[in-house]
Structure 1
């Protein structure tokens, strides 16, 4: 289970971990959005997330806090990406420029990248509350859940390298 604010690197980390472990990767934006940037009804999002969480193994990146408690019960690992606002803002800006007018791989077809002032406002307005919500997951994690609170790009790189090394030694 990977959580973090926009631009923290959730999708990138999930893809890298999926490549190294062979586990299926689920991006919350695939559940949250329908083609044309139409938000799914809440009940449908919860049902879709719950169905994914019932699977044997997965890498689930992103929010939908309504299912956090259930997801935490099923997760063997909780990764919190807690990077500085300036870095996250730069990444969102760079991502927008890189994919402008195109659909990113972690979004449903028909959701082209765009500059969205409401999204930027949401990033700013929720910078403290989302961080607090993510950190509040740590004490909720079960006794067998490994928790990683990563606060820098360097920390994320070290984490990915450690996973790669562990995968090499297992296989």
Structure 2
């Protein structure tokens, strides 16, 4: 049986998602590219959309592009090394700019931090109120882990149904 380090770029996403659900504190040690892939995998199911991984050095603030019907959603993923980190207003402003420069009006910010600063939430609300952005979701670690749990539970349910059919 092949073994993987949690910070490896080689670990399969299904194995990683199961492992993170059982060991949530380990999410802070996974490779940042794997975090982006994990978010993409979870959101592909959650939003029933196509996912393009575009994150790299100098990506302009976008790591994933979700294609849902005719709408593109820009996603920024921040894998912090500590839960106690706070996502700042500048990160949210950067995502708003990246979203507009991408020709989109919809965005999602996913972070392993436990919260977003009051000013970052205000920037999000202001962008929506001024109708600069049509939709803007903030996922802190707890919200993301909830969706990851739902995603993994659905996958397990599907496998159980397939096994029972035989």
- Name the structure, 1 or 2, with higher relative contact order (CA <8 Å, separation 6+): 1
Q: Which TM-score bucket, shorter chain as reference?
A: 0.3 to 0.5
Q: TM-score, normalised by structure 1?
A: 0.35
By percentage of residues, which structure has more helix?
1
Q: TM-score, normalised to structure 2's length?
A: 0.35
